[in-house]
Amino acid sequence: MKKNSALAKFEKLKRILKRYPGVVVAFSGGVDSTLLLKVAKDVLKDNVIAVTASSPLYPQSEINNAKKIARLLKVRHKIIHSRELENKAFKNNPRNRCYYCKIEMFKNLKKIAERDGYEVIEASNYSDLGDFRPGLRAVNELDIHSPLIEAGLKKDEIRELAKYLKLPNWAKPSMACLASRIPYGVKIDEKILRRIEESEAVLKDSGFIQCRVRDHFPIARIEIIPDDFEKLLKKRDKIIKSLKKIGYKYISLDLEGYRTGSMNL
């Protein structure tokens, strides 16, 4: 680890968290929010509540993973059921759909925090500032705190720290909500989300850790890291059969490989 960078920011993160009487952490179970939750627990002891949103936008496996990690860290954990699909503005799938999702979630978290006089914190990191992140508008509007950004921690530094702290998911691939696989302007519904979830489960069960199935129905566009192309071609018959059974007519492999935000182009 680069001690003069990541560790210095780690100490700054602890100082930032010490300002709060207690916190409600928006906790997805990913690497960023796990690091934030771990440090908050170390600094604030029992004055920490982790909250995870459950909805058709998130695979059940991710919810189960969040529960497991919260138990490991011995943090109070609440599961809230968010209702993004009841919001017409979100369902219409505009480019700023993340804003509508985050605004609802953070409003719910603020209600929980107000009961104990806590603050709401979330796990956006410094690297996110250079990406297309409409959800940050909701963060700013509702005065949600982003300690990882304030500490200047970048994505690679967060992974370094998570490994240093022996967090079980330090190498976990990044995971965005399932709606990020749907082209903007295509209305989001539960049927599409389940189709994507089932298709990505097929790939993961076949040994592909970092993968996406972008839904251009009836086409499934598979994104995996280029080093896995040969492995996928060896397993193509099984994968094609499984994805066609799910409902796709054409199965394609994106030759550019996996990359975040490919639907933002």
Same domain? 94 vs 130: yes
- Asked, for residue 175, whether it belongs to a domain, the answer is no
Domain boundary among 164, 197, 232: 164
- Asked, for residue 178, whether it belongs to a domain, the answer is no
C-beta separation of 23 from 48 below 8 A: yes
What are the start-end ranges of the H helices in 74-205? 88-91, 97-116, 135-141, 147-150, 155-164, 190-205
The domain spanning residue 240 has which CATH number?
A: 3.30.70
What are the start-end ranges of the H helices in the chain? 8-17, 31-44, 60-73, 88-91, 97-116, 135-141, 147-150, 155-164, 190-205, 229-234, 236-246
Give the pLDDT of residue 157.
96
Same domain? 214 vs 149: no
The domain spanning residue 74 has which CATH number?
A: 3.40.50.620
Residue 33 corresponds to which amino acid?
A: S
Give the pLDDT of residue 136.
82
Does 98 qualify as catalytic in the annotation? no
Same domain? 69 vs 134: yes
Give the pLDDT of residue 259.
86
Same domain? 59 vs 149: yes
Return the closest-CA partner of residue 118 out of 20, 249, 42, 210. Answer: 20
Separation of alpha carbons 215 and 182, rounded Å: 5
Same domain? 135 vs 199: no
- Asked, for residue 243, whether it belongs to a domain, the answer is yes
Residue the block writes with tokens 């097929």:
202
Separation of alpha carbons 157 and 230, rounded Å: 31
CA 84 to chain centre: 16
Q: Is the backbone of residue 8 left (phi > 0), alpha (psi -120 to 50) or beta? A: alpha
Same domain? 146 vs 197: no
Instruction: Name 129's bridge partners.
Output: none
Structural domain span for residue 90: 3-164
Give the pLDDT of residue 24.
97
Same domain? 137 vs 46: yes
- Asked, for residue 181, whether it belongs to a domain, the answer is no
Same domain? 148 vs 49: yes
In the β-sheet with 76-81, what is the strand arrangement from edge to edge? Answer: 76-81, 48-54, 23-26, 119-121
Separation of alpha carbons 225 and 223, rounded Å: 7
Instruction: Name 253's bridge partners.
Output: 222
Give the pLDDT of residue 265.
58
- Asked, for residue 169, whether it belongs to a domain, the answer is no
Q: Which of 98, 101, 177, 211 is catalytic?
A: 177
Same domain? 214 vs 119: no
Same domain? 17 vs 69: yes
- The pLDDT profile of the chain, 265 residues, written as one tens digit per residue, is 455 689 999 999 999 999 999 999 999 999 999 999 999 999 999 999 999 999 999 999 999 999 999 999 999 999 999 999 999 999 999 999 999 999 999 999 999 999 999 999 999 999 888 766 777 888 889 999 999 999 999 999 999 999 999 999 998 988 889 999 999 999 999 999 999 999 999 999 999 989 999 999 999 999 999 999 999 999 999 999 999 999 999 999 999 999 876 666 5
Same domain? 160 vs 197: no
- Asked, for residue 214, whether it belongs to a domain, the answer is yes
Give the pLDDT of residue 46.
96
Task: Give burial (CB, 10 Å; 0-12/13-18/19+) of 230.
Answer: exposed
Same domain? 156 vs 196: no
Separation of alpha carbons 250 and 226, rounded Å: 20
- Asked, for residue 180, whether it belongs to a domain, the answer is no
- Asked, for residue 224, whether it belongs to a domain, the answer is yes
Give the pLDDT of residue 140.
86
The structure tokens listed for 142 are 């509702």
Give the pLDDT of residue 133.
76
Domain total of the chain: 2
